[in-house]
Amino acid sequence: MQYEAVIGLEIHAQLLTDTKIFCGCSTRFGSEPNTQTCPVCAGMPGVLPVMNRKAVEYVVRTGLALNCEISLYSRFARKNYFYPDLPKGYQISQFELPLCEGGYLEIPGNGSNTKISLTRIHLEEDAGKNIHEGSASDSFVDLNRAGVPLMEIVSEPEIRTAKEATDFMKKLRTIVRYINVSDGNMEQGSLRCDANVSVRQEGTKELGVKTEIKNMNSFRFIEKALDYEIRRQIKVLQEGGRIVQETRLWNSEKGITESMRSKEEAHDYRYFPDPDLVPIVFDTSWIDDIKANMSELPDVKKERFMNEWGIAEQDADLLASERSTAEWFEETVKLGADPKAACNWIKGDFMKLLNEESIQIDESRIKPGDLVEILGLIDRGTISGKIAKTVFEEMYKTGKKAGIIVEEKGLVQMSDESGLESIIDDILVKNTDAVDKFKAGENKLMSFFVGQVMKETKGKANPKIVNEILRKKLG
Ligand code: ADP
Ligand code: ZN
Ligand code: MG
C-alpha cells in the first residue's frame, strides 16, 4: 500500500516593531530579565491595551505579499489558559475574524511552482518565558517577551513532503525579510514553526489523524523531524496500529519525535471577543498606501534578473533570495557592470568571503562601485582574471580601491609582446626536453609552458598573448 503525507504549518513570526503590541515597552532581544516590562504587559489589574499601529500594518503588508484577502473588519479575542508565563491568564489573539484570510505561497515544484494555500494570518501577543536554570528549587518568569507582537500564519494541509515544508519556510523567511516585517531568525526563535502531520493512502481524499510537531528551530531540523514523523506514522499503520492525535517534540539529539501531550490534555480556550479592544476597521485607501509602498518581491526580482539580464535560474534565485544581495547586485548593474560578470563575482569569490565572516553583503567594505571598478580593470586588460582574485581579496580585507591596490603592488598585467617574448625564449631554451616532446605531439605540455611564464612573471603575464607567442614559437 502506498501512503502519502499531509502537512499543514502554523508559523509564528515576531514582528520588527520597536515596541510591544499593547504598551510602549521595548522589544529588544537579550536584555536582563524583566527590564522591559510595565503594568500592561505584566498583566496588572485595571490596565488597558492600546493597539500598536505598526504591528497591524506589518500583518497587512505580509497579507498583501502572500496574496491574502485583507479583512476590512477584524477583531481581537481572548484565548484563555493558565500558564505561569502568561500573566493575564489569557492571550490576546484573533479567532473568528483575523486580519487576513486565504492567500498562497509558491514553492519550487516539478518544472513549475507549486502553490500552497494559506488559511489565515492573524496578529497576537507573545507570552513570557519560564526559566528553570539558576536554582534547584525555584523557577523564574521573564516577561520581557510578554506582549511582543507575533503574527501567526496558518497553511492549508496541502504540503506533501518534508522537503516542501522546508521550502515553504525558506520562501516565507525570504519574504518576511524582504518586506521588513520580521528578521526571520529561527535560531533565536523570531520565526517558529509547528507542523501538523498525517498520512493517508495515496489516492484517498479523507485526512488521517494528525500529530503536531514542535521544537524544530532550523530548516534542517524541520526536514529531519518531518521525514521521521512521516515514516513513523506509516510504520504504525502498516503494522495495523492507529495514530494517536497528540503533540510531539522533535529531539534533535536522538533524531526522533517524542510524545509530549495527548489530545485529552488539550485546552478548551474559551475564546471570546476582547472587550478592551475595539474592532479594527480599515479604509481601503490605507491598504492601497501600504501596497504602493511595498518593495518588489523576490520572485519578481528573480524573473527580472533572468529575463532582462540573462542570469541563469539558479543564480537568479541566489541573488534574489536576500534583499540586500539583490539590491547590491542591481546597483552594480546600474553603475555599468555587465550583469553576468557581476553575478559571477558575487556568487563566487564574494559570497565565499562573506560566508566566512557570516555577514551580509551590505555590511562589507566592498561597495557596488568597487566591483564595477575591478570589472573594468579586467575588461581593459589592465589586470588578469587571476590577479583580479587576489586584488578582490585585498579589497575585501582593507577596503582599498582596486586601482590603488594594483598600483601599490605593481600588479598591472604584462601585455607587452617583446617583453614577454624574451621571457618565453629563455624558458624554451631552459626546457629543450619539453620542447622536443611537445613537437613530437605531447600537446598537453602547452599548459606547462604557460605555467612557467606565469611563474616567471608572478602571474602578471597576459595569458592570451602568452598563448599566442608560444603557439607561434612552437608551431
Ligand atoms: P486544530 O483544530 O487541531 O488546531 P486546525 O484545523 O485548526 O487544527 O488546523 C491547524 C493546522 O493543521 C493547519 O495548518 C491545518 O492545515 C493543519 N491540519 C489540519 N488537519 C490536518 C491533517 N489531518 N493532517 C495534516 N495537517 C492538518
Ligand atoms: Zn509593557
Ligand atoms: Mg486550530
154 lines ligand 1 (CB under 6 A): yes
31-34, Cβ contacts within 8 angstroms, sequence gap of 24 or more? 31/144, 33/131, 33/140, 33/142, 33/143, 33/144, 34/142, 34/143, 34/144
From CA 337, how far away is CA 368, in angstroms rounded? 9
pLDDT confidence of residue 384: 84
From CA 85, how far away is CA 77, in angstroms rounded? 19
Lowest mean pLDDT among 149-153, 207-211, 226-230, 461-465: 461-465
Distance from the alpha carbon of residue 23 to the mean position of ligand 2, in angstroms: 5
Distance from the alpha carbon of residue 140 to the mean position of ligand 2, in angstroms: 18
pTM for the complete prediction?
0.86
Distance from the alpha carbon of residue 40 to the mean position of ligand 3, in angstroms: 27
Does one domain contain both 75 and 191?
A: yes
pLDDT confidence of residue 110: 83
> Which CATH number characterizes residue 446's domain?
1.10.10.410
Spatial neighbors of 387 by CB under 8 A, at least 6 apart, are: 406, 411, 413, 459, 460
210 lines ligand 1 (CB under 6 A): yes
Residue 266 has pLDDT above 70, yes or no: no
8 lines ligand 1 (CB under 6 A): yes
The average confidence (pLDDT) of the chain is: 94
> Who has greater pLDDT, 111 or 395?
395
- Residue 243 grid coordinates: 495514530
- Residue 231: pLDDT band (50, 70, 90) is very high
pLDDT confidence of residue 412: 83
Do 18 and 215 contact (CB within 8 A), yes or no?
Answer: no
Does one domain contain both 240 and 315?
A: no
Does one domain contain both 314 and 265?
A: no
Question: Across residues 445-462, what is the average pLDDT?
Answer: 90
From CA 427, how far away is CA 447, in angstroms rounded? 13
Domain finish residue from 359, 388, 409: 409
The single-letter DSSP state of residue 346 is: I
pLDDT confidence of residue 370: 97
Spatial neighbors of 146 by CB under 8 A, at least 6 apart, are: 20, 37, 41, 42, 43, 85, 86, 87, 125, 126, 127, 128
Number of the ligand 1 atom closest to the C-alpha atom of 9: 14
pLDDT confidence of residue 462: 86
Let me know if residue 291 belongs to a domain: no
Let me know if residue 192 belongs to a domain: yes
Residue 127 has pLDDT above 90, yes or no: yes
- Residue 265: pLDDT band (50, 70, 90) is low
For ligand 1, atom 14: residue with the closest CA: 8
Let me know if residue 149 belongs to a domain: yes
Let me know if residue 362 belongs to a domain: yes
Question: Across residues 102-131, what is the average pLDDT?
Answer: 95
- Residue 262: pLDDT band (50, 70, 90) is confident
Number of the ligand 1 atom closest to the C-alpha atom of 157: 16
194 lines ligand 1 (CB under 6 A): no
Residue 450 has pLDDT above 80, yes or no: yes
Do 155 and 135 contact (CB within 8 A), yes or no?
Answer: no
Compute the CA torsion angle 466, 467, 469, 474 (nearest 10 deg).
130
Among all bound ligands, the one having the nearest atom to the CA of 213 is 1
Q: Which of 210, 226, 237, 267 to mutate to test ligand 1, by most ligand atoms within 8 A of the CB atom?
A: 210
Number of the ligand 1 atom closest to the C-alpha atom of 207: 23
Does one domain contain both 224 and 323?
A: no
Candidates 425, 473, 474; CA nearest to 453 is 425
Question: Across residues 410-434, what is the average pLDDT?
Answer: 89
Per the structure, how many domains does the chain have?
3
Residue 62 has pLDDT above 80, yes or no: yes
3-class DSSP state for residue 261? strand
Question: Across residues 166-177, what is the average pLDDT?
Answer: 97
- Residue 181: pLDDT band (50, 70, 90) is very high
Among all bound ligands, the one having the nearest atom to the CA of 226 is 1
Residue 471 has pLDDT above 80, yes or no: yes
**% residues pLDDT > 90 (the chain):** 86
The single-letter DSSP state of residue 347 is: I
Number of the ligand 1 atom closest to the C-alpha atom of 197: 25
Question: Across residues 372-395, what is the average pLDDT?
Answer: 92
Does one domain contain both 123 and 210?
A: yes
Residue 304 has pLDDT above 90, yes or no: yes
Among all bound ligands, the one having the nearest atom to the CA of 8 is 1
Does one domain contain both 347 and 451?
A: no
pLDDT confidence of residue 418: 86
Let me know if residue 241 belongs to a domain: yes
- Residue 246 grid coordinates: 497528540
266 lines ligand 1 (CB under 6 A): no
Whats the size of the chain, residue-wise?
Answer: 475
Domain finish residue from 286, 305, 337: 286
**DSSP letter for each residue of 187-233:** TTTSEEEEEEEEEEETT--SPPP-EEEE---SHHHHHHHHHHHHHHH
Does one domain contain both 357 and 450?
A: no
Residue 263 has pLDDT above 80, yes or no: no
Residue 241 has pLDDT above 90, yes or no: yes
Does one domain contain both 393 and 422?
A: no
pLDDT confidence of residue 131: 94
Domain containing 463 equals 417-473
Distance from the alpha carbon of residue 157 to the mean position of ligand 1, in angstroms: 7
Does one domain contain both 250 and 141?
A: yes
Does one domain contain both 24 and 163?
A: yes
For ligand 1, atom 8: residue with the closest CA: 196
Does one domain contain both 405 and 431?
A: no
Domain finish residue from 409, 434, 459: 409
9 lines ligand 1 (CB under 6 A): yes
Distance from the alpha carbon of residue 10 to the mean position of ligand 3, in angstroms: 9
From CA 254, how far away is CA 248, in angstroms rounded? 14
pLDDT confidence of residue 11: 98
- Residue 345 grid coordinates: 563575482
Question: Across residues 143-159, what is the average pLDDT?
Answer: 98
Let me know if residue 146 belongs to a domain: yes
Does one domain contain both 263 and 242?
A: yes
